[in-house]
Amino acid sequence: MTLSLAGAMPVLAQPDHRARERAILAELIEIDTGPTGKATTEAAEAMARHLVAAGLPADDVRVISVVPGIGNLVARYRGTGAGGRPILLMAHLDVVEALREDWSFAPFEFRERDGYYYGRGSSDNKAGIATLISTIIRYREEGFVPSRDLIIVLTGDEETSGDSIRLLLEQHRDLVDAEFALNTDAGGGELRDGRPIAFSVQTAEKVYLSFALEVRDDGGHSSVPGPSNAIYRLAAGLTRLAGFAFPVRLNETTRTFFDRAAEHQPADLARDMRALAREDDAAAASRLAAASPFYNATMRTTCVATGLSGGHAENALPQLARAVINCRMLPDDPAGEVEAALVRVLADPAITLSRIAPPVPSPASPLRADVVGPIEALVAEMWPGAVVVPEMSTGATDGAFTRNAGIPTYGVSAVFGALDDIRAHGRDERIGVEPYHRAAEFWYRLLKRLAS
């Protein structure tokens, strides 16, 4: 720790833990864990070294590979056990590809500029890793012994298959089993005009399921077309699908979302959000769905055409027409019912439907008072005025697998930013310096409360 003098008053410079949070984030960004560098094992080993240096027994810090070439870290900070079963703390080591020519600077070089830390993974999700590792080191330095085990799991393939978390749960359940999980890779805070207004807790994810549609036909010479045509039949079915919407159905998470998110909205929108949340008002639901694709996706299952191909020659009748439909199902929508609805809407037995990959169910996690309560209290202290909003993601994370394995999972990155400045997966990815260190402070305080 360094001291500097401002007038006669000694002023503390940045505390040590802040410098450490920055250094670990920088170290992680400079290890290329994208599809080109593939250095997830190297990153896992680097984080393992920090934990062992801080005094965790080497046996409790394991670099494990369950998919060839993919490194994961599972580390256990032991507690007394008086506070109950462990808490699982999640983040991922891998990042989305970043090409030098697409960026304003080298994506795997850490840099600080204008109040931001830059680099691939800075926000997704290396800040989360650095936060977890720094927090454990800080506890060790203080001699803080939690009342329950804290287990860190860092996976190496969240951005692609998610196989590592799935296999860790299947093959090493004893190492990662927990009463509930907190995920740094979801949730977050919204800044509007620099003011914190909402703090999201991700408690559910929509379920991903794609279908291949096919129409086959005898074909023939295009100079003598008959009544049957594979492309027309498929196109007609897709047109019927375009006019269809799945029914509106709220769950605990989305109902609370609409009710609370109303707080910072213009009066008309706020009225509709509350009418939907409290009375399932159908007219309010249609207005909200029309106002925002995100609101629409939050209130119902969606299925949309994302691919189309057909025919084999300019001068031949098509023998095959294909389309891809991508569905994002509500967590409690059975895949069989969604498929049956599609068959009904396509309304043509010539259009065959097949699932491209099996869905991973992800039941919504309940808004448990022993988890959400401490989060709300801490948000009120650290970001007064920000409303805590449960969130159902329209995309998916490793949390789908932990929920599916019976571990309720809460996404609470706690990193605030402006909604129009989300650069995860994009170019010149960055995270605000203050929001990052503030999130680290939140995790330090939160875990203490949940494990004291």
Q: Which is nearer to Zn ion, 125 or 296 (CB)?
A: 125
Length of the chain: 452
Which residues from 174-203 bind Zn ion, rule CB under 5 A?
185
- Rounded to whole angstroms, the Cα distance separating 274 from 257 reads 10
Residue 359 CB contacts under 8 Å (≥ 6 apart), including other chains: 207, 208, 209, 329, 335
Helix (H, G, I), strand (E, B) or coil at 31: coil
CA dist 393 → 8, 180, 206 (Å): 52, 18, 6
Q: Which is nearer to Zn ion, 204 or 275 (CB)?
A: 204
CB 309 within 8 A of CB 322: yes
Q: How far is the CB of 156 from Zn ion (least distance, A)?
A: 12
Q: Which is nearer to Zn ion, 278 or 427 (CB)?
A: 427
Q: How far is the CB of 34 from Zn ion (least distance, A)?
A: 13
Q: How far is the CB of 125 from Zn ion (least distance, A)?
A: 4
Q: Assess 272 for contact with Zn ion (CB under 5 A).
A: no
Tokens, residue 94: 């891998």
Which of 412, 241, 243, 267 shows the shortest CA–CA distance to 342?
241
DSSP H or E segment with residue 291:
helix 282-291
**Residues forming beta bridges with residue 92, ordered by sequence position:** 155
Which residues from 89-128 bind Zn ion, rule CB under 5 A?
124-125
DSSP string, 233-290: HHHHHHHHHHT--PPP---HHHHHHHHHHGGGS-HHHHHHHHHHHHH--HHHHHHHHH
Q: What is the contact mask toward Zn ion in residues 204 to 233, using x (rule: CB under 5 A)?
A: ------------------------------
Size of the site for Zn ion (CB under 5 A): 3
Q: How far is the CB of 190 from Zn ion (least distance, A)?
A: 18
Q: How far is the CB of 424 from Zn ion (least distance, A)?
A: 7
Q: Which is nearer to Zn ion, 149 or 185 (CB)?
A: 185
User: Tokens 């870290």 sit at which residue?
Assistant: 73
C-alpha of 243 from chain center? 30
Q: How far is the CB of 298 from Zn ion (least distance, A)?
A: 20
- Whether cis (ω within 30° of 0) applies to the bond prior to 315 is no
Q: Which is nearer to Zn ion, 185 or 391 (CB)?
A: 185
- Report DSSP state, residue 115: T
Q: Which is nearer to Zn ion, 124 or 281 (CB)?
A: 124
Q: How far is the CB of 56 from Zn ion (least distance, A)?
A: 25
- Report DSSP state, residue 224: S
Q: Which is nearer to Zn ion, 33 or 301 (CB)?
A: 33
Q: Which is nearer to Zn ion, 134 or 183 (CB)?
A: 183
Q: Which is nearer to Zn ion, 125 or 254 (CB)?
A: 125
Q: How far is the CB of 166 from Zn ion (least distance, A)?
A: 16
12 CB-side CA count, 13 A = 7
Q: How far is the CB of 425 from Zn ion (least distance, A)?
A: 8
- Rounded to whole angstroms, the Cα distance separating 430 from 352 reads 45
Percentages (nearest 5) of helix, strand, coil residues in the chain: 40, 25, 35
Chain positions contacting Zn ion, by CB under 5 A: 124-125, 185
